[in-house]
């Protein structure tokens, strides 16, 4: 029997541009790296963790998700949303 016991999400990317200078591509890159990757990896890991009967999802985020980060407003939004996404995890670490 195979056992998958832990899913670890540890990713972060931003640009140093002021928010109003972000292009659509900058926004997409920050959101796909910081939020979508966590979402998709959790979707893939969930059935394996559930079938193991004792699995954990560990999402390492950033204080940027709970406080103002300048100029990383898009980064902060992605990190904040990933914290909400992972709030149903067995273990969550900020």
Catalytically active residues are 75
What Å distances lie between residue 58 and 15, 49, 51, 65, CA to CA?
A: 25, 12, 17, 16
Pairing of strands 56-60, 6-10: parallel
- Pair 62, 18: CB distance under 8 Å: no
């Amino acid at each position: 029997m195979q056992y998958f016991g832990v899913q670890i999400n540890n990713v972060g990317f931003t640009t140093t541009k002021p928010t109003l200078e972000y292009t659509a591509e900058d926004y997409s890159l920050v959101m796909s790296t910081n939020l979508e990757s966590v979402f998709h990896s959790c979707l893939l890991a969930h059935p394996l963790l559930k079938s193991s009967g004792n699995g954990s999802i560990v999402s390492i985020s950033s204080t940027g998700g709970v406080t103002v980060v300048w100029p990383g407003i898009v980064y902060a939004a992605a990190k904040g949303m990933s914290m909400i996404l992972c709030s149903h995890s067995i273990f969550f670490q900020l």
